[in-house]
Chains A and B, each alone.
Chain A
């Protein structure tokens, strides 16, 4: 049952990503990327990381891609602004390279099962398997072991907000 769900989600993710890369209308490309993000969120849920799945839906499918849609409408990008997919070698050579790489990765992943567990940065012996994705261990880690990256990240977000506002000013005052 799990493997069937994972397969279905994988198909959803791949189809969404292929459509996002191939569609000429930017609005539809962004909407198919929403499909991909929802599929990835489903995989997160399946992995037992419920909190991250919810964050993925809210931040990615909700916020980031809606911002993309806003920008598509703001600059009135239409189908004619986007060239059609190239034919011949320019399309098939990158596709072949990526398929080859995927096959190589799948081959390498067969060794993973035999790999010993090494990483024990946060000792998780006391963390039951089913509690992995809940908010409690994540919050605890964020405010103990990861408090410095957490605060730096909030500062990064602030810089991002200020930078975006500066960049889109009609009459830029502080941007040369």
Chain B
């Protein structure tokens, strides 16, 4: 929210997903349980999908608006 830019917001989302993954793995390790490791594995794959879709949207938004600032793309009708 501080940066007001679509791409850097996506970067922040990646960071958040990583924080969640780290928590999953830390507690799974604490319990010696593989469930958390599975969640991390699925989470990494889903983060990859999310990044690809988000970046595709980024490219499209930039083509349409020539900028990625939140002020310009606040209106999402097409």
B53 touches A120 (CB 8 A): no
Range of interface residues on A (Cβ < 8 Å) = 35 or more
Which of A20, A52, A60, A160 is B41 in contact with, Cβ under 8 Å? A52
A160 touches B53 (CB 8 A): yes
A82 touches B3 (CB 8 A): yes
Which of A26, A72, A160, A168 is B60 in contact with, Cβ under 8 Å? A168
Residues of chain A within 8 A (CB-CB) of B48 are 59, 63-64, 157, 160
Residues of chain A within 8 A (CB-CB) of B41 are 52, 55, 138, 142
Interface size on B, residues (CB 8 A): 49
Residues of chain B within 8 A (CB-CB) of A4 are none
A55 to chain B, nearest CB (A): 6
Docked pose: A133 CA to B35 CA in angstroms: 12
Docked pose: A59 CA to B46 CA in angstroms: 11
Residues of chain B within 8 A (CB-CB) of A11 are none
Instruction: Specify the chain A residue showing the minimal Cβ separation from B57.
Output: A167
Interface string of B19-62 (1 = CB under 8 A from A): 00110011001111111011011101111110111011111101
B15 touches A74 (CB 8 A): no
Residues of chain A within 8 A (CB-CB) of B4 are 83
A169 to chain B, nearest CB (A): 9
A122 touches B35 (CB 8 A): yes
Listed A/B pairs (8) with beta-carbon separation below 8 Å: A63-B48, A64-B14, A64-B51, A71-B55, A71-B59, A86-B2, A141-B38, A168-B59
